Amino acid sequence: MIKTTTLTLVFIAVLAAAGEGPALASAQTTTIRVIPAPADVAAPPADAKKTASGLASKMITAGTGKTHPVAADLVTVHYTGWTTDGKMFDSSVSRGKPSTFPLDKVIAGWTEGVQLMVAGETRRFWIPEALAYKGQQGRPKGTLVFDVELISFTESPTQAPADVKSPPSDARHTASGLSYKVLTAGVGGRHPKSSSAVTVHYSGWTTDGKLFDSSVVRGMPITFPLDGVIPGWTEGVQLMVEGEKTRFWIPEALAYKGQPGQPKGMLVFDIELIKFN
């Protein structure tokens, strides 16, 4: 049975607004659905597996993926956390929205444990305090129990693509000097216009491989009028269809044109066009 109560949520894996990592310190009081603790919340059962670090886990639902995330990957998960006395302290399930975050920016038990999973899997973890919050003030104490569903994972954009320095031989080029390569095909044949409002996920690097902006790291796509951004975006996104992911090499003349405080030189963007109108 699910009941409703008021409690303080400790957001385990929500990215800070500035993209500086998880806002593990933030808490807020809100009314949410409380998900009852599992019967084995007090201690790992006999069939749980244990790692050398002391992390215990048990698969609840098998996944469909074949590969495992690595520590630097961005993972998208649903999760619920309880203390061993059965009190729920956080749940993306109750909030109704999965969380996306870099796996190496959360508590150590999560970083280790989620790497054991494949996409589609749900696993229960018993995380000892040494791999959780280590007695930090204002954090849940003792062993923590999490049910985690790994929805998906992708390579972190902090790792620049191998061809970031220059367009590869199979890239296409427009008359303006824009270069691009389709990474994932989209659906349909409609293209946005310069006047369209587009919703995208994107990551941008300088050609020396430094990530300077990423909606992916922030965990939230962005919507904007296509004629209100740099010319390379306005031109390039019009080449795309919904669901497509494309890499663009945008020369400085189509980017920030040497403006103070903006990234200099050619810029490289991976853009996923989610939708437009």
Q: Is this structure's pTM higher than 0.85?
A: no
* Residues 246 and 131: beta-carbon distance below 8 Å: no
Specify the CATH number of the domain 172-276: 3.10.50.40
Residues recognised as catalytic? 79, 89-90, 107, 133, 146
pLDDT the model gives residue 114: 98
pLDDT the model gives residue 141: 96
Dihedral angle sign, alpha carbons of residues 88, 77, 159, 21: negative
pLDDT the model gives residue 30: 55
Task: Choose among 244, 256, 171, 170: nearest CA to 206.
Answer: 256
Q: Where in the chain is the domain with CATH 3.10.50.40?
A: 3-154, 172-276
Specify the CATH number of the domain 3-154: 3.10.50.40
* Digitized pLDDT (tens) for each residue of the chain, 277 residues in all: 334 443 434 444 333 323 333 333 334 455 578 999 999 999 999 999 999 999 999 999 999 988 999 998 989 999 999 999 999 999 999 999 999 888 998 999 999 999 999 999 999 999 999 999 999 999 999 999 999 999 999 888 888 999 999 999 999 999 999 999 999 999 989 999 999 999 999 999 999 999 999 998 887 899 999 999 999 999 999 999 999 999 999 999 999 999 999 999 999 999 999 999 9
Determine the 3-state secondary structure of 108 from DSSP.
Answer: helix
Structure token pair of residue 241: 């269809």
